[in-house]
Amino acid sequence: MIDNNNLITIKNLVKHFDVKTNLFSRVKNNLKAVNNISFDIKKGETLGIVGESGCGKSTTGKLLLNLLEPTSGEVLFEGKNIYSISNEELRKLRKNMQIIFQDPFASLNPRMKIFDLIKEPLKIHKIGTKENRIKKVKEIIKIVGLDEYHLNKYPHEFSGGQRQRICIARAIILNPKFIICDEAVSALDVSIQSQIINLLKDLQKDFNLTYMFISHDISVVKHVSNRIAVMYLGQIVELAETNDLFKNPKHPYTKALLSAIPIPNPEIKRKKIILKGDVPSPMNLPKGCNFHTRCPYKNEICTTKEPIFKNAGNGHFISCHLNN
């Protein structure tokens, strides 16, 4: 049954890559980047996705936009599976799904003026007359906190924060419903980070946007997200409302992540949970629970049986035998 409150429904999504063992070898290994994940993104919310680098966050983002083909599984956007629609439907859908990357400089063609860069999505989707497009670009540049005179400049003439504003302008000019922010503020100074986060929050209200906010930094994710999904080795291990997750983390990995956040008050001491051992290779995942090689609470069942990702109440999902 389709829940009308959901903009996106992800069902049993899997993405494995074949990777050559070495340059001359024909033998391929299977890199399990995303491993059977299922979750919803509600209309108008910001869902944060957090986890260490290489845990599958960005691959999940690309799968949701159909920039990668999944190994198996479904992504429903407003009830339609984005992997089985026609090219024409996909082209229309692309207007509604945008992405903002970490490195704005790499996302912007250095030879194009800002006016042309912001106008480009309208041109690609054949939207508006020449006059309409000029008017729209002039409106959008102001909405993202820049001025009309900036339109005549090139990307290298801007700071990192200003370039990210330009990328945001390109993302919202098509009036999308959904935007993925993939480490969108990670490369910026802390003061600029909060300006861009505030801009994204304002735009969410004004344009009725739904966000998926991907970051390795859980304290940044906390500031923007209504709910947070914690990823580890291609799986979601915990998903809950932001306040609930911070007050009542249930998965040992989430507990370790939260214990590492510095507290700005020197009088409050928190015991940091140091995880022993390295993250296993996604080409050679451990049996049972993926986290058992580092988990301080593991017991026998953890090394043989994979825990099920299930609702522990009030939409707090967790994948751990301690709660199964």
Applying CB under 6 A, does 297 fall inside the site for ligand SF4?
A: yes
Quote the CA–CA distance of 249 and 230 in Å, as a whole number: 11
| Nearest distance, CB of residue 295 and ligand SF4, angstroms | 3
Give all strands of the β-sheet with 235-241 in edge-to-edge order: 97-100, 178-182, 210-215, 46-50, 227-232, 235-241, 317-319, 309-311
| Nearest distance, CB of residue 300 and ligand SF4, angstroms | 9
CB-nearer residue toward ligand SF4: 104 or 249: 249
Quote the CA–CA distance of 187 and 145 in Å, as a whole number: 19
CB-nearer residue toward ligand SF4: 283 or 322: 322
Count of positions on this chain that bind ligand SF4 (CB under 6 A): 13
| Nearest distance, CB of residue 26 and ligand SF4, angstroms | 36
| Nearest distance, CB of residue 297 and ligand SF4, angstroms | 4
- Judged by CB under 6 A, the residue of 203, 227, 302, 316 near ligand SF4 is 302
- Judged by CB under 6 A, the residue of 56, 70, 121, 307 near ligand SF4 is 307
CB-nearer residue toward ligand SF4: 207 or 297: 297
CB-nearer residue toward ligand SF4: 163 or 251: 251
One-character DSSP codes across 21-55: SSTT---EEEEEEEEEEEEEEETT-EEEEE--TTS
Residue 194: closest CA among 216, 223, 218: 223
CB-nearer residue toward ligand SF4: 185 or 295: 295
Applying CB under 6 A, does 291 fall inside the site for ligand SF4?
A: yes
Residue 114: closest CA among 86, 142, 94: 142
Cα separation values, 151 from 64, 147, 192, 275, Å: 31, 8, 21, 49
Quote the CA–CA distance of 36 and 10 in Å, as a whole number: 10
Sign (positive/negative) of CA torsion 278, 279, 285, 289?
positive
Restricted to residues 251-290, the positions that interact with ligand SF4 (CB under 6 A) are 251-252, 289
Selected range binding ligand SF4 among 77-85, 90-98, 185-193, 314-322, rule: CB under 6 A = 314-322
Which residues of the chain form contacts with ligand SF4 (CB under 6 A)? 251-252, 289, 291-292, 295, 297-298, 302, 307, 320-322
